[in-house]
A = this chain, B = another copy of it.
């Protein structure tokens, strides 16, 4: 029986618990892809030139029969973003919310404990959300092939055959002889190597790139933590036990979760565990970790809105901005334009973008962390222009959504609806706005904006007043249980 036929049989003969629960760890910030990726719009959720975000592509990759509904672990800051993007492609994930963003160990354990409460033998597939893997079929087949070993209590890792001596990835050293389950025992993890070591490993043909993907049962992962990182177990267990369901989110208990460590899953557990196996993934894979990697995936210098004249090995990006980006006579340069920030870097310095972001943050430059479009659970807004005593926003309200019932002490607001429809509460009055209709909200007036339609509503808001900070808001009722500053 050939491998593919074996996999088909395996798939056909399984019970419900043979299906695998994807666990997407999407709390990362991805500062090396600044200025597209920012603290409030991390790369996995950002538009990187393709129709879907990397997060959505990750969800779609596991939207197939062999997988259960996914579990997402994300930070409170990005929970609406994750839920909206998941909803946008029809996914119905469980969203576990970390009160504060932490490294991956605590997030993975939270997912494992949550899954184990339903079925400790359920297999979980831990996935980063910022990788590019175009061949989803091949990926699913490789995962399925690892299920037997995972069900037997192993933690299965996945490795890619290296195509260059890459120093930006972790590597895996498998042992040469396969186990009976078809996986190779893992000899060890190698953290991001220096150039000489990367070259030795590349030439030896005995190493694989670490995809950062793990397959194991929930029970196996909890046991690995109990053995190798026992300090995590009680806090995370308590955080799950005391978690609360809130608007479809499972919010971990903040006080309990704060007791867990802040290591990566690799460091806390994987590098110490002895029951690891490796499977080789033969498809194309990139971690999209920096602009150099993005350029390798996206190929030629020219993309939407860009023009390259006599450029070699150069990456020009201005996706979705309407900006005309022109490169002339460049060699090994990365240039990325967004409406409020532009990066130009030598390609060999792609890793140092995070240094620049830190330096901008140090100088108090808001573009370090804030994206031009601010996402809200009800939609989004962007500031179009501002000046002394005024600010102009373009506001998009999602179909069926509404903002909180609110008032502002210091600012008045003029609203002009330009697309969709709106239901406006203004003092005691309710009125319906259609495109080309406007209304005025005086300072102090209690008001609310809702979209009763089936299309996004777009409003132009002109604020006037001596103080126009986002914190000038009193919320009287909110659909989204938000903190004051959200």
Binding site for B on A (CB under 8 A): 35, 307, 309-310, 316, 318, 322-331, 333, 335, 337, 339-346, 348-349, 352-353, 355-356, 359-360, 363, 365, 367-368, 384-385, 387-390, 392, 394, 412, 414, 416, 418-419, 435-436, 438, 440, 458, 460, 462, 464-465
CB pair B309 A324 closer than 8 Å: no
Q: Nearest chain B CB to A95's CB is how many angstroms away? A: 31
| Residue from B307, B329, B360 in contact with A349 in the complex, judged by beta carbons closer than 8 Å | B329
With a cutoff of 8 Å between Cβ atoms, the chain B residues found around residue A318 in the complex are 342
CB pair B341 A419 closer than 8 Å: no
Q: Nearest chain B CB to A435's CB is how many angstroms away? A: 6
CB pair B348 A307 closer than 8 Å: no
> Which of A325, A326, A385 is most buried by chain B, counting CB atoms within 10 A of its CB?
A326
| Residue from B324, B348, B388 in contact with A342 in the complex, judged by beta carbons closer than 8 Å | B324
Cα A375 to Cα B154 with chains together (Å): 70
> Which of A327, A340, A440, A458 is most buried by chain B, counting CB atoms within 10 A of its CB?
A327
With a cutoff of 8 Å between Cβ atoms, the chain B residues found around residue A349 in the complex are 310, 328-329
| Residue from B310, B335, B419, B464 in contact with A335 in the complex, judged by beta carbons closer than 8 Å | B335
Taking chain A's interface residues, is the majority helix, strand, or loop, or is none over half, making it mixed? strand
Q: A418-B390, A440-B438, A462-B418 are in contact. Are A346 and B324 (CB under 8 A)?
A: no
User: Closest chain B residue to A458 by CB distance?
Assistant: B387
CB pair B342 A323 closer than 8 Å: yes
With a cutoff of 8 Å between Cβ atoms, the chain B residues found around residue A458 in the complex are 387, 390
CB pair B324 A333 closer than 8 Å: no
CB pair A464 B440 closer than 8 Å: no
Cα A176 to Cα B335 with chains together (Å): 51
CB pair A326 B394 closer than 8 Å: no
| Residue from B324, B329, B341, B419 in contact with A367 in the complex, judged by beta carbons closer than 8 Å | B324
With a cutoff of 8 Å between Cβ atoms, the chain B residues found around residue A353 in the complex are 328
CB pair A323 B307 closer than 8 Å: no
**Can you show 25 pairs from A to B with CB atoms below 8 A apart?**
A35-B326, A307-B360, A324-B360, A328-B343, A328-B344, A328-B353, A329-B346, A330-B333, A337-B342, A339-B339, A342-B342, A384-B384, A384-B394, A385-B394, A387-B458, A389-B418, A390-B435, A390-B458, A392-B394, A414-B416, A414-B438, A418-B462, A435-B464, A436-B464, A460-B462
Q: Nearest chain B CB to A300's CB is how many angstroms away? A: 16
Cα A384 to Cα B388 with chains together (Å): 17
User: Closest chain B residue to A340 by CB distance?
Assistant: B323
CB pair B329 A345 closer than 8 Å: yes
- Closest CB pairs A-B (n = 10): A390-B418, A329-B346, A329-B349, A328-B345, A384-B384, A436-B464, A324-B367, A416-B462, A324-B341, A335-B344
Q: A356-B309, A394-B392, A460-B462 are in contact. Are A346 and B326 (CB under 8 A)?
A: no
User: Closest chain B residue to A335 by CB distance?
Assistant: B344
CB pair A344 B324 closer than 8 Å: no
CB pair A309 B419 closer than 8 Å: no
Cα A342 to Cα B335 with chains together (Å): 9
Cα A360 to Cα B414 with chains together (Å): 38
CB pair B342 A330 closer than 8 Å: no
With a cutoff of 8 Å between Cβ atoms, the chain B residues found around residue A348 in the complex are 329
User: Closest chain B residue to A349 by CB distance?
Assistant: B329
Cα A349 to Cα B341 with chains together (Å): 24
Cα A346 to Cα B394 with chains together (Å): 37
Q: A352-B329, A356-B307, A392-B460 are in contact. Are A323 and B341 (CB under 8 A)?
A: yes
